[in-house]
Amino acid sequence: MPDIPYSIQPAESPADLAAVRALCWDYRAALIANSETDRQITETFYPVPKYETLMRDLPRLHARPRGVILLARDPDGTPIGCGMSHPLDAETAEIKRVYVTPAARGLGLAKALCRALIEQARADGYGRVVLDTSRHLPAAAPLYRALGFADRGPYQDIPSSALPHLLFFEYALT
């Protein structure tokens, strides 16, 4: 694995948030292209109008002090990854939209983003972190398990049609 430095910082400026939004749209497109099942789930649960609203509301949904949006950049300042967390309840943070551009994969960036999100959740006083991912993303489950996440069942209401295609994980912070 090449050792290419990158930085990970909270996305706070309008330019940072615009970069995160662009990465999130790339992530949505990657899910649609990943498998027919992921396409159906993405288009059903995140149709374009709903995703546009979600992207507009990112700063509110993942606002400090109990949520964060992280942006990774390469040494030239090019955005190459993102990840975010938000509260589900007083004890639980959920990690969302961990995405690394194809050109930056293999650098350990997804692992670094997840570690930073875990540490931020710990600093914010949460007792656990949860997340879900598609069964059709072959690198995702091994990454989360290697970080110490345990398999679990759904942590919120999920339509039964999507359940067979998703994996759910939990990381205890205490």
Q: Enumerate the domain spans of the chain.
A: 7-172
> In percent, how much of the chain has pLDDT > 90?
89
Q: Which residue has the tokens 């649609």?
A: 32
Rounded-to-integer distance, Cα 126 and Cα 138, Å: 28
Q: Which residue has the tokens 């656990």?
A: 128
CATH code matching the domain that covers 7-172, chosen among 3.40.630.30, 3.60.15.10, 2.60.40.10, 3.10.450.50: 3.40.630.30
Rounded-to-integer distance, Cα 32 and Cα 17, Å: 23
Task: Yes or no: say if 130 and 168 are a contact pair by the CB < 8 Å rule.
Answer: yes
pLDDT at 61: 84
pLDDT at 3: 58
pLDDT in tens, 1-45: 455 689 999 999 999 999 999 999 999 999 999 999 999 999 999
What residues contact 47, with CB distance under 8 A and at least 6 apart?
none
pLDDT in tens, 115-126: 999 999 999 999
Question: pTM of whole model > 0.85?
Answer: yes
3-state helix, strand, coil in the chain (%, to 5): 40, 25, 30
pLDDT at 1: 41
pLDDT at 84: 97
Average confidence score pLDDT of the chain: 94
Rounded-to-integer distance, Cα 46 and Cα 160, Å: 16
